[in-house]
Amino acid sequence: MSPERPLLSVRDLRTWLDAGDAIVRAVDRVSFDVRRGETFALVGESGCGKSMTALSIMRLLPDAGGIVGGSVELDGQDLLQMPESGMRDVRGRRIGMIFQEPALSLNPVMTAGEQVAEALRRHTPLEGGALAARVRELLEAVRIPDAARRKDEYPFQLSGGMKQRVMIAMALACDPELLVADEPTTALDVTIQAQVLDVLRELQKTRRMSLMLITHDLGVVSGMAHRVAVMYAGEIVETASRDAFFARPAHPYSRKLFDSLPSGSKRDGALAVIRGSVPALTREFTGCRFADRCDSAWELCRKSVPGLYDAGNGQIARCHLYAPGADKSEKWGQSRISERDSSMQSQKIDSDPIFPDPIFPITSNESLLLVKDLKVHFPVHGGLLKRVVARVRAVDGVSLEIEAGRTLGLVGESGCGKTTVGKGILRLVEPTGGQVVFNGSDLAHLSRAALRPMRKHFQIIFQDPYASLNPRMRVLETLEEGMAALGLGEGREARQARVDALLAEVGLDPEVKFRYPHEFSGGQRQRIAIARALSVEPRLIICDEPTSALDVSVQAQILNLLKALQRKKGLAYLFISHNISVIEFLAHEVAVMYLGRIVEHGHVDEVLRAPRHPYTRALLSAVPVLDRTTKREVIRLQGELPSPVSPPAGCHFHPRCPDAFERCGQAYPDSARFTASHTAACHLYPMV
């Protein structure tokens, strides 16, 4: 009996982009199959060609792009040979696509219901009441609460999770055979991500739909995929079943991706990093594209392009280690020794990059920052006279403490007030109430004149380094600006020497100081942002999601750098993130925030290993894990985060809490103490 024909078959696909002075070979001879009813994951870092592969399949390339070779067959029909009019019938009808950024993909002047209906009008005969009923059915299928009302709302009125679900409803409107999902959960919190993945998993199962999932999140791949393909520099370097891939990744690049992932078990050391950068795709390659960054490479790797070889256990790898007739034992032994030595060298370099002595102790009894009952409320104006009609309680009574040389991780869903806490501490937004005591001085009540000279002691690293760097200023000017403003350095020559030292300290060549931000990669821009924060010699740095926009290998470099700088300089960090693995690796203590308040606080192991608050347990249960054999309770939160304009009475979490009882809706709970450091605000626990 012949095997079933795959639904999608891509063979030798080549997509080139005209960059003006050069041709970028974005997708270079890529081949893979997507079977009926399966989830096929395409994994890799930014710039490897994942999204360009998806756009090539859909024939939605930018004007500068073109498919120069290969075939893309959908159930035996080559899409590349079809006229554009024929492709319009395929898109939306037979292949649906979820784009990476729903806020940019949804039409801001059309309601959610109108945008779903648009696809139905194009591909089905539905109209009138039948059309409206189908729109509502689709929105309910993707679990949008109160779909009858939400269908008449515009994208700006929807949360990130709901916008993503509207995109899914649009993609599924005509029951496509294949759904292409390009990073469908990248910008979402773990709780909303879990809901969206549940929706995709359930809809795929009921419709026997094929799913092509594009992501760099290996945890999502572990929970969703049946088969995995890894892309690097425009080509596929490994394909495998999910179980084989997670049991033993074959390609050296795949192994490095796993080694770069942060976790609590790696807390005492440095994360493995992939040295160098992705090669430019504007040239012809004479050897392996990963050779210059590979710990397993030898002479052949730089002279000969490797083919796709059988790596055992059903895996295929583009690597000379698996070539027929190769002395695998010798080469593999050499590669493992090389990897071990490289890892040791990487840890030494990354943990101690510039100034080996003295090393500041990582623990201290000195309370550098003490925040008491911090409140940040924003007025809501309404009416003809623009009077204050309500207040957004963004931060509503937050208390925390950070010692010198230590890191407090602040976690929670988007909209809970984490970033506003950081800005309120620095008075980038004015606090409504409370105290912010830094080194004995209450920052919240200082005059602007008194606050200005103190700003050198505390700095912030923003989430998006490109947006936070002035595009018209060179790196030299960016780093020198803060020092000049705060009167640091005896003159311009001294400040420029300091700039050179700062760039070297964050792992950049001092010669880059004459470049502009657009000339750097994302990881390099974040290093510049860190150098800017360090330029005024602060004691406290607030890190606002500094690695959320970075690939795992670049993230590892930044986390190693932050840890090394803390160890050397005794820096204190308030590290704001929704990535629990990053918090587990970097933080000493964790505070969990929900709707403007801290609901649980404690040492990192206390909170992450033995969570007490129902919200913390739900947050941790939603985090994707690599080990699918791990048995754990999965708690799926229902509904959305309530509005901070009118938070629920009693415990703010009780409308979504699976453990809520009558008292929870009557009064906000006091904090129960479990150890000297571990507390949780929950009525489940008696006060001691």
Q: State the average pLDDT over residues 288-297.
A: 93
| Lowest pLDDT segment from 72-76, 168-172, 176-180, 234-238 | 168-172
Per-residue pLDDT at 616: 96
Q: What is the mean pLDDT of residues 409-427?
A: 92
pLDDT exceeds 50 at position 358: no
User: Across residues 50-66, what is the average pLDDT?
Assistant: 93
pLDDT in tens, 102-113: 777 899 999 999
Please classify residue 12 by burial: count the beta carbons closer than 10 Å to its beta carbon, then call 0-12 exposed, 13-18 middle and 19+ buried.
exposed
Q: Give the tens place of pLDDT for each residue, 382-408.
A: 887 788 888 999 999 999 999 999 999
pLDDT in tens, 106-152: 999 999 999 999 989 988 898 899 999 999 999 988 878 788 888 99
Asked if 458 and 495 sit in the same domain, the reply is yes
On whether both 218 and 304 belong to a single domain, the answer is no
Residues 232 and 269 placed together within one structural domain of the fold? no
Domain annotation covers residue 609: yes
When pLDDT is cut at 50, 70 and 90, the band that residue 366 belongs to is: low
The predicted structure's pLDDT at residue 362: 42
What residues contact residue 581 under an 8 Å CB cut-off, 6+ apart? 261, 262, 263, 623
Longest dimension (CA), the chain: 83
Q: At what angle do helices 522-534 and 475-485 cross, to 10 degrees?
A: 20
Residue 303 CA to its chain's centroid (Å): 36
Does residue 86 have a pLDDT over 80? yes
Q: Determine the Cα–Cα distance for residues 142 and 200; give it in Å rounded to an integer.
A: 8
pLDDT of residue 11: 97
Residue scoring higher pLDDT (4 or 310): 310
Separation CA 324–CA 310 (nearest Å): 9
DSSP for 506-540?
A: TT--GGGGGS-GGGS-HHHHHHHHHHHHHTT--SE
Name residue 392's beta-bridge partners: 378
In tens, the pLDDT along 497-528 reads 999 999 988 888 888 999 999 888 777 888 89
Q: Which two tokens stand for residue 237?
A: 């370097």
Average pLDDT over residues 179-200: 82
Whether 471 is covered by a domain: the verdict is yes
Task: Mark whether 308 and 433 lie in a shared domain.
Answer: no
pLDDT for residue 376 is more than 80: yes
Q: What is the total count of domains within the chain?
A: 3
pLDDT at position 338, please? 44
Q: Is 405 part of any domain?
A: yes
Q: What is the pLDDT of residue 552?
A: 85
Residue with tokens 């103190």: 454
Cα gap 442→434, rounded to integer Å = 10
Q: Which residue has the tokens 């795709």?
A: 281
Whether pLDDT at 287 is above 90? yes
CB 50 within 8 A of CB 234: no
Q: Is residue 254 part of a domain?
A: no
Residues 537, 452 share a domain:
yes
pLDDT of residue 195: 80
- Can you give the pLDDT at residue 327? 59
The answer on 415 and 343 residing in a single domain is: no
Task: Look up the CATH number of the domain holding residue 482.
Answer: 3.40.50.300
pLDDT-based confidence at residue 1 (cuts at 50, 70, 90): very low
* DSSP code per residue over 443-469: GGG--HHHHGGGGGGEEEE-S-HHHHS
In a domain, 131, yes or no: no
Whether 426 and 325 map to the same domain: the answer is no
pLDDT for the residue numbered 349:
34
Residue range(s) defining the domain that contains residue 301: 264-351
Residue 382 sits in the same domain as residue 279: no
Mean pLDDT of 77-86: 94
Would the pLDDT of 335 be above 70? no
pLDDT of residue 326: 67
Same domain assignment for residues 669 and 584: yes
**Residue 77 or residue 330, greater confidence:** 77
Domain final residue pick, 351, 384, 415: 351
Please tell me whether residues 386 and 461 are part of one structural domain.
Answer: yes
* Helix/strand/coil for 103: helix
Pair 276, 422 in one domain: no
In a domain, 101, yes or no: no
The residue-averaged pLDDT of 561-590 equals 93
Sheet-wide strand order for 65-74 = 23-34, 8-18, 65-74, 77-78
**Residue 333 confidence (pLDDT) above 70:** no
When the pLDDT of each residue in the chain is averaged and rounded to a whole number, the result is 87
**What pLDDT was estimated at residue 66?**
94
Q: What is the mean pLDDT of residues 476-490?
A: 86
Identify the DSSP state of 663.
G
The verdict on 519 and 633 lying in the same domain is: yes
Token pair of 115 as six digits: 């945008």
pLDDT beyond 80 at 192: no
Residue 381, pLDDT > 60, answer yes
Residue 621 included in any domain: yes
Whether the pLDDT of residue 269 is over 60: the answer is yes
Give the pLDDT confidence score for residue 491 in this predicted structure: 80
